């Protein structure tokens, strides 16, 4: 069966003012229906990469490109003029829930469809009965329909995060970018949020790219992992092939915090631990 490439990144670099290189010649492809974890130590470039994929940030003008579903997001350091149309297919889930706290949960969820709505209706947030039904259905799918009419600020962090995912369902997002969506959640809420993302991935065949600090969660929910180290892709392959030695190299001084002493995720280490700096990124199959 032919694989549809949903997100394609070629030769992307980002140098911040002052000369700090946060992304270094990143090339990646994500197929339709993949669920991929983005891991790496603090400051390795995970959020920066997700911001570039969404077109919120422009890369260096050194020739890098990003496209989503064949449409340009950015090229040579310029975000595409039609980025709004591209973003209509991209859902975002951020660590800080990014809901409007004073608005009802349902209204927040329905704003996912705004980009497909006539401007006058979206300005006044006028939703049809059919749209509301879709919103309620999405909330039921993520298990929080009881909270539809509460203010978003009145529900828990995990519920807000599931509302943010419901918004991507209403949006019919073909690509969902989640930047540390479980960083501020307790383990049970985190599990539910990850299960909800996995459901969106499996049922809707959306491509989900999720940055995570919790490597055990990455291994449990994401068949593929991309690891960044100082802005470079140092691993791209099956999550199941990551070894404890690789992860310890990746996280350096953070390894103890991230992996713990006898962590359940860790499998036997590779016979010869290989420093990440010397591992070429695995090619992604076409
Ligand atoms: N606007 C900016 N200006 C200058 N440097 C920046 C800017 N944004 C990010 N950086 C730097 O780029 C590097 C990558 O940051 P990024 O937030 O992408 O890392 P991360 O892997 O998401 O880290 P964390 O897991 O801690 O969120 C960091 O060293 C950060 O300080």
Which regions of the chain are under pLDDT 50? 261-286
Residue-wise pLDDT for 20-37, tens only, equals 999 999 999 999 999 999
C-alpha 242/C-alpha 263 separation (Å) is: 14
pLDDT given for residue 114 in this prediction? 60
Ligand 1 atom 1, closest CA: 16
Q: List b or e across 54-77, with b for residues whose CB sees 16 or more CB atoms inside 10 angstroms.
A: bbebbbbeeebbbbbbeebbbbee
Percentage of the chain beyond pLDDT 70 is: 85
Q: Which two tokens stand for residue 88?
A: 């209509």
pLDDT given for residue 253 in this prediction? 80
Residue-wise pLDDT for 166-207, tens only, equals 999 999 999 999 999 999 899 999 999 999 999 999 999 999
In angstroms, what CA-CA distances link 110 with 30, 65, 88, 234? 27, 31, 13, 39
pLDDT given for residue 270 in this prediction? 34
Short-list 221, 201, 256, 252, CA closest to 38: 221
C-alpha 196/C-alpha 167 separation (Å) is: 12
Rounded to whole angstroms, the maximal C-alpha distance in the chain is: 63
Place of tokens 């929910």: 221
Distance 20 CA to ligand 1 centre (A): 10
* Any ligand 1 atom below 6 A from CB of 44: yes
Sheet containing 207-211, strands listed edge to edge, beginning at the edge strand earlier in sequence: 90-94, 175-179, 207-211, 35-39, 224-229, 232-238
Domain boundaries, the chain: 1-89+175-286, 101-173
Distance 253 CA to ligand 1 centre (A): 17
Q: Among positive and negative, which fits the CA dihedral 185, 191, 192, 196?
A: positive
Short-list 151, 164, 174, CA closest to 4: 174
pLDDT given for residue 273 in this prediction? 33
- CATH node for 1-89+175-286: 3.40.50.300
* Any ligand 1 atom below 6 A from CB of 104: no
């Amino acid at each position: 069966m032919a694989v549809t490439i949903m997100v394609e990144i070629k030769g992307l670099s980002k140098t911040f003012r002052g000369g700090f290189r946060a992304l270094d010649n990143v090339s990646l492809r994500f197929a339709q229906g993949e669920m991929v974890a983005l891991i790496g130590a603090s400051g390795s470039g995970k959020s920066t990469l997700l911001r570039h994929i969404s077109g919120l940030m422009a890369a260096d003008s050194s020739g890098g490109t990003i496209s989503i579903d064949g449409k340009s997001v950015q090229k040579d350091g310029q975000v595409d003029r039609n980025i709004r149309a591209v973003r209509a297919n991209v859902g975002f889930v951020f660590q800080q829930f990014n809901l409007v706290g004073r608005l009802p949960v349902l209204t927040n969820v329905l704003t996912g469809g705004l980009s497909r709505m006539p401007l006058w209706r979206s300005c006044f947030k006028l939703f049809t009965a059919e749209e509301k039904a879709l919103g309620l259905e999405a909330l039921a799918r993520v298990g929080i329909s009881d909270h539809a009419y509460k203010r978003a600020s009145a529900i828990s962090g995990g519920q807000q995060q599931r509302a943010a995912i419901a918004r991507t369902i209403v949006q019919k997002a073909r690509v969902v970018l989640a930047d540390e969506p479980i960083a501020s959640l307790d383990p049970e809420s985190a599990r539910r949020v990850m299960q909800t993302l996995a459901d969106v991935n499996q049922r809707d065949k959306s491509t989900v790219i999720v940055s995570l600090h919790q490597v055990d969660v990455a291994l449990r929910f994401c068949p593929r992992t991309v690891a960044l180290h100082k802005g470079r892709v140092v691993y791209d392959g099956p999550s199941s092939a990551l070894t404890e030695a690789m992860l310890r190299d990746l996280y350096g001084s953070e390894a103890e915090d991230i992996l713990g002493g006898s962590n359940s995720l860790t499998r036997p280490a590779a016979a010869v631990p290989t420093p990440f700096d010397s591992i070429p990124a695995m090619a992604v199959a076409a």
